[in-house]
Amino acid sequence: MPVNLTPPDPASLLPVAGVLLGIASAGIKKPGRRDITLIELAAGSRVAGVFTQNRFCAAPVTLCRQHLTQGTIRALVINTGNANAGTGEEGLRRARQTCEVVAGIMGCATEQVLPFSTGVILEPLPVDKILPALPAAYADLAPNHWSEAAHAIMTTDIVAKGASRQAQVSGKTVTVTGIAKGSGMIHPNMATMLGFVATDAAIAASLMPQLVKDVADVSFNCVTVDGDTSTNDSFILIATGQAGNAEIGDAASADYAALKATLSEVAIELAQAMARDGEGATKFITVQIEGGRDHDECKQIAYAIARSPLVKTAFFASDPNLGRILAAIGYAGVSDLDVNTLQVYLGGVLVAEKGGRAASYTEAQGAAVMQETDITVRVVLNRGKVNATVWTCDFSYDYVKINAEYRT
Amino acid sequence: MPVNLTPPDPASLLPVAGVLLGIASAGIKKPGRRDITLIELAAGSRVAGVFTQNRFCAAPVTLCRQHLTQGTIRALVINTGNANAGTGEEGLRRARQTCEVVAGIMGCATEQVLPFSTGVILEPLPVDKILPALPAAYADLAPNHWSEAAHAIMTTDIVAKGASRQAQVSGKTVTVTGIAKGSGMIHPNMATMLGFVATDAAIAASLMPQLVKDVADVSFNCVTVDGDTSTNDSFILIATGQAGNAEIGDAASADYAALKATLSEVAIELAQAMARDGEGATKFITVQIEGGRDHDECKQIAYAIARSPLVKTAFFASDPNLGRILAAIGYAGVSDLDVNTLQVYLGGVLVAEKGGRAASYTEAQGAAVMQETDITVRVVLNRGKVNATVWTCDFSYDYVKINAEYRT
């Protein structure tokens, strides 16, 4: 069950000038399922992306990387039901074919189309079903179809994920709207995390690669459900430049900071929604590391806690099992960590310090925090000034059930 | 349920000249439970150990490290029911006190005693119960109490773990006997893996540190159940020197190789027993990586597969879900890995090559392998000459049950 998560009100997902979305049904896995999403971008839009580091990356990821270096992007095409991963040369050919057909309908070049796939791995992409559905998706293009798109890109997500914000940039109102899918860093045979965030702000093309990375680092790169990294993970940032603001050309400017903050808010809401909708989740866990020497060591410790099956099953059991958290901190791989000078908090309660349980701590305090559905674990390292946060969920019977029964 | 694992026949655990074992009951967690093991070593015995890398290491681990540098070891004292971990300065004091009392009974120095604890973390070591039980353990000392000791060091292990072998070293028969405990790399609140392997072979003290590391690297360092590393992991190698062989003084000699091979056999049997007795295990999985450039990359890929919750739940479901294995190989972190030139085998069946499913593969072949309880995943990297193996088990409802319900 998703933890404190409801689908976005369709009216709350604001149109972004220069972005049109169209949905269609190709019947890839189920007849009638709306499984194709087409996104058309106005001429002059700037697009940048970050992708999975998995060496078994999917064919559409390979193609996205190529097309982003070759041209200005005019369209995105997304299918669910098939990941087009582990499909070799033939997979690349079929992904390119999809782009070609979109380009033909829209009157642009094949390299101006980015393809995305999510679904079963190791199965050939059913272009016989996808290609005929593309004209219907094109005919459906409209500025207010964000909610429909959020639903159409879901796989085993229980709740659709979308968010909008507005901000002032050089005296103009800019809009940011994003949608995402994913409920495990990798799903059972599923390509997991896709995120698309668009803004009508005008920003120099040269700043886009850094901006998408900055936003990903504080949002999608802070989520883990099971520690597995998908073959298809993609996060795309779109800036159509139609808000009328003076083009942002300096990464040190206040405008850049304002836009980045607003983009990050949307991306963080989407990223947290993935952990809240994590497979079998009953609790949403924030792991916050403070006072580290550098970002890497903070992330290492945060992930050690957030990935530990022992910690996650303890949260599922509402058991304030501090030993498991301490052990995870200890094996995180920070070799010169002094465990005698750090503090661990569960919610607002100091639970451990000086290498052991805090003298003031009582089991009743820990048990009370564990009853909550949104819980924060805070580790104060006291060795530097850097912080990092990771979001995750607990580990329940249903995780095993979902993943053991997915194909069988 | 342990996978193809039965306790050793007590008669099969051969005495090792120079080693006496005594058991007693201190009633640490349960009245009457035999929870104290004392091991007395003849004068002249050589001892070396390897220990957890966890920064939250337990007090007895800290003391073991100190004592091994200070003196010749004459005794080991092991308690279950309490890990003496996360106990700060007071924990060290109590561990030292235990050594002092043993030293007093045996007439040796405190630094000649190694302490070991396994059980609940964050609770004070109940020396009020342990110290009075030590004379009874001393009175029980006998050369043929290996099986009793194997049982006395168990925590949530279902099956006791012990093994013996004999070998010829420079014309003399040497005996190797070992016991171990552990059924998760870390247990729920439990300090996990303890291994004690003794031989009567004579070997130079200077070779012991390398030997214990070599043996650990091919045995205990190849097991993972849940990827968590305990605060108390310890593996101790004992050589009493009473077999009458000419002392082994050269690590390049045939005698050294013969002894190392025999020690490794015993340690491998014990290490595999841990995975077979893994929490909630229904299958024993061997992950074998071949043709890597170096040991690190082989281990990285092996552990990525062996630790993946998605791979492990697929084995539980007897589902030949190849996509999950490929994804784990891909995200293992070997950044220049070419996925198009590796092969993956399930049992004897070629399942993946050229970046995708093998053309010859059928789902029925994979399903047949998955019906077995002992399964090997083989990945042939084709980029070097190095191999590595990791043993693990699958991931079942019972893993969540055991770990969610342990304290509550």
ipTM: 0.72
Domains of chain B, earliest start first = 10-276 (3.60.70.12), 284-405 (3.10.20.340)
Q: What is the pLDDT of residues B129-181, one digit of tens each?
A: 999 999 999 999 999 999 999 999 998 888 999 999 999 999 999 999 999 99
Sequence-separated (6 or more) residues with CB below 8 Å from residue B102: B38, B75, B77, B113, B134, B138
Phi-psi region of B368 (alpha: psi -120 to 50; beta: other; left: phi over 0): alpha
Q: Read off the pLDDT band of A233 (50, 70, 90).
A: confident
Say yes or no to pLDDT of B187 above 60: no
Sequence-separated (6 or more) residues with CB below 8 Å from residue A146: A10, A13, A14, A15, A21, A162, A164, A177, A179
Whole-number Å distance between alpha carbons of B22 and B140: 4
Does the beta carbon of A340 lie under 8 angstroms from any beta carbon of chain B? Answer: yes
H helices present in B44-87, as ranges: 59-70
B188 to chain A: which residues are within 8 Å by CB? 310, 314, 321, 324
A405 and B314 Cβ atoms separated by less than 8 Å: no
Interchain CB distance below 8 Å, A323 and B55: no
Which H or E element spans position A162?
strand A161-169
A77 and A112 Cβ atoms separated by less than 8 Å: no
CB atoms within 10 A of CB B391: 24
Pairing of strands B194-199, B234-239: parallel
Phi (first) and psi of residue B172, to 5 degrees: -110, 150
Whole-number Å distance between alpha carbons of A168 and A201: 10
Q: Which residues pair with B77 in a beta bridge?
A: B38, B115
Mean pLDDT, chain B, whole residue set:
90
CB contact residues (below 8 A), chain A span 208-227, against chain B: 226-227
Q: Which of A80, A87, A192, A389 is catalytic?
A: A192
Does the beta carbon of A56 lie under 8 angstroms from any beta carbon of chain B? Answer: yes
Whole-number Å distance between alpha carbons of A121 and B135: 63
Q: Read off the pLDDT band of B191 (50, 70, 90).
A: very low
More confident residue, B125 or B332: B125
Interchain CB distance below 8 Å, A189 and B340: no
Q: What is the pLDDT of residues B58-75, one digit of tens each?
A: 899 999 999 999 879 999
Whole-number Å distance between alpha carbons of B177 and B197: 6
Residue A85's identity, in one-letter code, is A
Whole-number Å distance between alpha carbons of A360 and A381: 19
Say yes or no to pLDDT of B227 above 70: no
C-alpha to C-alpha distances, A285 to A162, A331, A398, B21, B45, nearest whole angstrom: 20, 20, 17, 47, 51
CB contact residues (below 8 A), chain B span 261-290, against chain A: none
A391 and A275 Cβ atoms separated by less than 8 Å: yes
The pLDDT, as a whole number, for residue A169 is 93
The pLDDT, as a whole number, for residue B400 is 79
Interchain CB distance below 8 Å, A397 and B400: yes
Helix axis angle, B295-307 relative to B309-316, nearest 10°?
Answer: 60
pTM: 0.81
- Looking at chain A, how many residues does it have? 408
Report the gap between the CA of B237 and the closest CA in chain A (Å): 24
Buried b (16+ CB within 10 A) or exposed e, B57-92: bbbbbbbbeebbeeebbbbbbbbbbbbbbbbbeebb
A377 and A325 Cβ atoms separated by less than 8 Å: yes
Q: Read off the pLDDT band of A184 (50, 70, 90).
A: low
Whole-number Å distance between alpha carbons of A255 and B225: 50
Whole-number Å distance between alpha carbons of B81 and B35: 7
The pLDDT, as a whole number, for residue A317 is 87
Does the beta carbon of B371 lie under 8 angstroms from any beta carbon of chain A? Answer: no
What are the residue numbers of the active site of B? 192
Least trusted range by pLDDT, from A296-300, A358-362, B116-120: B116-120
The pLDDT, as a whole number, for residue A54 is 80
Which residue in chain B has the smallest CA separation from A403?
B313
Q: What is the pLDDT of residues A268-285, one digit of tens each?
A: 999 898 888 888 889 999
Which of A307, A340, A408 is facing B319, going by the closest CB pair? A408
SS3 content of chain A, % helix, strand, coil (to 5): 35, 25, 40
**Any idea what the Cα angle at residue A379 is, between residues A378 and A385, rounded to 5°?**
110
A85 to chain B: which residues are within 8 Å by CB? 323
The pLDDT, as a whole number, for residue A407 is 52
Whole-number Å distance between alpha carbons of A337 and A343: 12
**A–B CB contacts, 8 A cutoff, strictly below:** 220
Which residue in chain A has the smallest CA separation from B402?
A313
Least trusted range by pLDDT, from A300-309, A342-351, B221-230: B221-230
Does the beta carbon of A142 lie under 8 angstroms from any beta carbon of chain B? Answer: no
Q: What is the pLDDT of residues A135-178, one digit of tens each?
A: 999 999 999 999 999 999 998 788 999 999 999 999 999 999 99
B310 to chain A: which residues are within 8 Å by CB? 184, 186, 188, 226, 228, 403
Interchain CB distance below 8 Å, A400 and B334: no
Say yes or no to pLDDT of A59 above 90: yes
A41 and A315 Cβ atoms separated by less than 8 Å: no
Q: Read off the pLDDT band of A203 (50, 70, 90).
A: very high
The pLDDT, as a whole number, for residue B189 is 39
Which H or E element spans position A261?
helix A254-276
Enter the DSSP assignment of B376.
Answer: E
Whole-number Å distance between alpha carbons of B290 and B388: 7
Sequence-separated (6 or more) residues with CB below 8 Å from residue A25: A32, A33, A34, A35, A36, A133, A136
Say yes or no to pLDDT of B110 above 80: yes
Whole-number Å distance between alpha carbons of B386 and A286: 40
H helices present in B107-172, as ranges: 127-139, 146-152
Does the beta carbon of B303 lie under 8 angstroms from any beta carbon of chain A? Answer: no
Chain centroid, CA B20 distance in Å: 21
Which residue in chain A has the smallest CA separation from B313?
A404
